[in-house]
Amino acid sequence: MAEHYYTVTWDQLHRDARALAWRLMDRGPYRGIVAITRGGLIPAAIVAREIDCRLVESVSVVSYDEEQRGHPVVTKAPSAAGDGTGFLIVDDLVDSGSTARVVRALLPRAHFACVYAKPAGKDVVDSFVTEVSQDTWILFPWDTEPQFVPPLVKQRG
């Protein structure tokens, strides 16, 4: 289990993905975007809109089961992207870098960008917006749901 948790709201994710797009605008134009599923799908859609890129491809890499990290396995290759020339890879987070290394090997000529980066993986990506500590588990909005929480005074036992 992670030592710390950081909850990202839909609004925060949108702001951070737009900030990523802002950083990427001068590095383009890009022929297309490759979203790493599943976490990179929404940031990739936001970035695609902001930089006016219509070709969005995906690569599916499975490396987590809940909070347990396993060996990354490509379950869908990004065939439209070739070797990555002119393409932008987008993911929500680079953690240990194991998934990023697998995708980087598939698309060695692409620019790799993610919204959030941890120290162990940030050297694998070319651009990111926010660094978080290695012991922090990010709770993305698609992993959580809002619910009522009683006031602290009523939680005393």
pLDDT given at position 157? 63
- How far is 95 from 40, CA to CA, in rounded Å? 13
- How far is 56 from 48, CA to CA, in rounded Å? 8
Q: What is the CATH number of the domain that holds 59?
A: 3.40.50.2020
The answer to whether position 11 is within a domain reads yes
**Domain span at 85:** 4-145
The answer to whether position 97 is within a domain reads yes
The answer to whether position 150 is within a domain reads no
Q: Look over the chain and give the mean of its residue pLDDT values, rounded to a whole number.
A: 93
User: Whole-model pTM?
Assistant: 0.88
pLDDT given at position 63? 79
pLDDT given at position 1? 57
User: Which stretches of 25-157 are DSSP H helices?
Assistant: 41-51, 98-106, 152-155
Q: Provide the domain count of the chain.
A: 1
Report the catalytic residues.
91-92, 95
The answer to whether position 57 is within a domain reads yes
The confidence band for 65, taking pLDDT boundaries of 50, 70 and 90, is low
Q: Which residues contact 94 (CB under 8 A, 6 or more apart)?
A: 100, 114, 116, 117, 118, 121, 122, 124, 125, 128
* Cross-strand pairs, 93: 116
